[in-house]
DNA sequence: TTGAAAGCGCTAACAA
DNA sequence: TTGTTAGCGCTTTCAA
């Protein structure tokens, strides 16, 4: 018999202490099956006294199913993903499920490694960003048989079901809006060294529409690090001081765009007369800015909620793409 | 014999396919022990072909140890906690550990439930915010025997080790700074309906110092929802339009303070002549604002990193409180 | 180099 | 109402 002295108490220990069988302990603690009031009391007392903590690993192994959902995010350095995650978490919590998660920093290989790792916990489902994955990731997920939800993007071929919006269309819509306002010389400011494929898709849609209208992209600046207001401010300064001065700047997101606006405020430029600005996401903090930024509102929390619901559900998978839409919000900067 | 048709492949299945024992499969896949090149090849081939995914539940149950760390956060609606989480995640990822997490929304009862839930995964450690917990939570964690790190706060009695800063001192330091600049009538703007105990501690330290100097708090406004720039903007408008007009406002955090600044910019007020402002945290986005906000810089990522290191480590627990410090940053708003 | 046996903690199924 | 048995998938131990 092994030494149990430094072991966490198990149902066996409780059984011994309470003078019943281990099965009775199991029944009492789970409130299933029947047990005499007598036994119940003794078990509960013993469990409490020993400081018993159930071991879900055992339950999960036995049940061949866990209440876990794997969640993969590109980064935590962007509110957008915290909001998606918040939607997921809130939805899971209501159902007694737990998120296990990891962050890729926009690296497909890290994503692949994470997927492997997370799948080995036998989660009920997996939620991951975007539709582009490293070779093999797709197959691994498919083979694992877990329910999958891809979020953010719809422009591509989902593994199973995607919840999001067309990034290309969002770019096009922004371009149409800016063109309608009369701007002809466009700039682009991005981040993540171009590794954010969804931003690239928006830019592609934007550029295509701009060119089709006979207007042009005159300057682009993509920063290497995470997107941040300060980069937007710096990039805007660069573009406006450059040779090919744009009359409107499209930013990869609101943080960058707000930074651009801050540059203009600090320099005393008049927006949009001196330069027009447009962001992406419609984050809450835009409401507080002294000037309303033109942006495209995206359903971040909703993507998280829908994805979580999907992976928890056990109904059949209906559509491959669920378009949660976007909304162009014309502000005072265009 | 049970029907294995809809089961995920196990080592047993691979063994059968490769014509070796299950133990050999285990050895090959883990790269431990020895196996003939022949066996190795056959096993690897079969594993690949069957799309084998290891089941860590079994390993963890067997090993009586998991590579999981439980992480509890007050909310995801505040960058501060995403940054702490990022520090944790980054540190864990380097060691092949996974975070499992949950969000309390500043509710101690939810926290208690989460702790119970997360502990049942037998994590190696648990990281949680603050030093105040619902009755029983402390005992439950202690009894579980996992390594514990509390983050953010040092003003109180840690369960085991706390990594953070003195919130009370941060409040005092801010007050001293404002008093030195000559302000005498102070306002406070908070959020989370006062449930954020660390903000309350800062306010207590601030108030105490203000009063000791013979100055006073003339107006306070605490919003119910999450802190956001827009609340700061609204609250500032209220305080400045109120009867007891403060000459300086202390905000529970930078988001609120930046909102206050936006109000001033939008209204054409001169800061700090018309009103002085001070925030808390030193978030990156402050750099991009047209006016440098006075704030207290906190070591958010470091708290996450230190806490993660602590719970992963197996050395003895040294000190009960690890002060990671803070730094008052005098900006242009005071 | 390989395999057989035992057991991690729990619960479904069956038996008393 | 209570207990016994078996087994989830894996790895440690011991034996061949």
Q: Do A103 and B86 touch (CB under 8 A)?
A: yes
CATH entry 3.40.50.2300 includes domain B167-297: yes
**Best A76, A93, A259 residue to mutate vs chain B (most B CBs within 10 Å):** A76
**Shortest Cα distance, chain A CAs vs residue B61, angstroms:** 6
User: Residue B294 in contact with residue B278, Cβ under 8 Å?
Assistant: yes
Range(s) of chain A covered by CATH 1.10.260.40:
11-54
Tell me the mean pLDDT per 10 residues along chain B, length 334.
63 95 95 88 94 95 94 96 97 93 96 96 97 94 92 97 98 98 98 97 98 98 95 98 97 98 97 98 95 98 96 80 97 98
Alpha-carbon distance of A176 to A181, in angstroms, equals 9
* Phi, psi (deg, nearest 5) at residue B184: -130, -20
Alpha-carbon distance of B154 to B150, in angstroms, equals 9
Count, residues in chain B: 334
Q: Quick one: tokens of A90?
A: 């809130």
Contact with chain A for residue B230, Cβ under 8 A: yes
Q: What is the pLDDT of residue A32?
A: 85
**Shortest Cα distance, chain A CAs vs residue B213, angstroms:** 34
Q: What is the pLDDT of residue B17?
A: 94
The beta strands (E) that lie in A166-264 are given as: 185-190, 216-222, 248-251
User: Residue B152 in contact with residue B133, Cβ under 8 Å?
Assistant: no
CATH for B11-54 (3.30.9.10, 1.10.260.40, 3.50.50.60, 2.130.10.10): 1.10.260.40
User: Residue A271 in contact with residue A290, Cβ under 8 Å?
Assistant: no
Q: What is the pLDDT of residue A3?
A: 41
Rounded to the nearest 10 degrees, the angle between the axes of helix B22-30 and helix B11-18 is 110
- Could you say which residues from 137 to 156 on chain B have a Cβ atom under 8 Å away from some Cβ of chain A? 139-140, 143-145
Strand D contact nucleotides, protein CB < 7 Å: 1-5, 7-13
Closest residue (Cα, C1') to D8? A62
**Shortest Cα distance, chain B CAs vs residue A286, angstroms:** 8
Alpha-carbon distance of A144 to A147, in angstroms, equals 9
Q: What is the pLDDT of residue B143?
A: 86
- The H or E element spanning position B142 is helix B137-144
Q: Which residues of A touch B66 (CB under 8 A)?
A: 57
Q: Do A82 and B93 touch (CB under 8 A)?
A: no
Q: What is the pLDDT of residue A1?
A: 36
CATH entry 3.40.710.10 includes domain B63-166+300-325: no
Is B143 exposed, middle or buried, given 0-12, 13-18 or 19+ CB atoms closer than 10 A? middle
Contact with chain B for residue A36, Cβ under 8 A: no
Those residues of chain A that have pLDDT short of 70 are: 1-6, 314-315
Q: Which nucleotide's C1' atom has the smallest distance to the CA of B57?
A: D9
Contact with chain A for residue B66, Cβ under 8 A: yes
Range(s) of chain B covered by CATH 3.40.50.2300:
63-166+300-325, 167-297
Of A96, A119, A266, the CB nearest to B290: A266
User: Residue A278 in contact with residue A251, Cβ under 8 Å?
Assistant: yes
Q: What is the pLDDT of residue B321?
A: 96
Q: Do B76 and A54 touch (CB under 8 A)?
A: no
Residues with Cβ within 8 Å of B126's Cβ and at least 6 positions away in sequence, in order, are: B69, B70, B71, B72, B115, B118, B119, B141, B146, B147, B148, B149, B311
Q: Helix (H, G, I), strand (E, B), or coil: what is residue A126?
A: strand
Contact with chain B for residue A328, Cβ under 8 A: no
What is the full DSSP assignment across A252-310?
A: SSHHHHHHHHHHHHHHT--TTTT-EEE-SB--GGGGGSSSPPBEEE--HHHHHHHHHHH
Alpha-carbon distance of B194 to B265, in angstroms, equals 28
Count, residues in chain A: 334
Alpha-carbon distance of B8 to A146, in angstroms, equals 10
């Amino acid at each position: 018999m092994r030494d149990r002295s430094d072991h966490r108490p198990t149902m066996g220990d409780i059984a011994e202490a309470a003078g019943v069988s281990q099965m009775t302990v199991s029944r009492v603690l789970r409130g299933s099956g029947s047990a005499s009031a007598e036994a119940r009391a003794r078990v509960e007392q013993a469990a409490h006294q020993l400081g018993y903590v159930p071991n879900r690993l055992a339950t999960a192994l036995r049940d061949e199913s866990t209440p876990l959902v794997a969640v993969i995010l590109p980064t935590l350095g962007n509110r957008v993903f915290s909001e998606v995650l918040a939607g997921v978490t809130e939805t899971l919590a209501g159902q007694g499920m737990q998120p296990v998660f990891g962050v890729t920093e926009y690296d497909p290989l890290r994503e692949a490694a994470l997927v492997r790792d997370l799948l080995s916990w036998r989660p009920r489902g997996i939620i991951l960003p975007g539709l582009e994955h490293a070779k093999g990731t797709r197959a691994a997920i498919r083979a694992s048989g877990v329910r999958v939800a891809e979020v953010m993007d719809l422009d591509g071929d989902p593994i199973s079901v995607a919840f999001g919006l067309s990034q290309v269309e969002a770019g096009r819509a922004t371009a149409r809006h800016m063109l309608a306002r009369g701007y002809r010389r466009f700039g682009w400011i991005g981040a993540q060294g171009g590794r954010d494929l969804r931003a690239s898709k928006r830019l592609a849609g934007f550029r295509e529409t701009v060119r089709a209208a006979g207007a042009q992209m005159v300057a682009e600046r993509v920063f290497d690090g995470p997107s941040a207001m300060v980069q937007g401010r710096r990039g805007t300064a660069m573009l406006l001081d450059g040779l090919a001065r744009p009359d409107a700047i499209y930013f990869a997101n609101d943080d960058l765009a707000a930074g651009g606006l801050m540059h203009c405020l600090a320099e005393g430029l008049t927006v949009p007369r001196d330069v027009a600005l447009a962001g992406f996401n419609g984050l809450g903090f835009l409401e507080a800015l002294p000037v309303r930024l033109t942006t495209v509102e995206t359903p971040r929390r909703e993507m998280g909620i829908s994805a979580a619901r999907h992976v928890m559900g056990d109904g059949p998978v209906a559509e491959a793409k669920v378009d949660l839409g976007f909304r162009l919000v014309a502000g005072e900067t265009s």
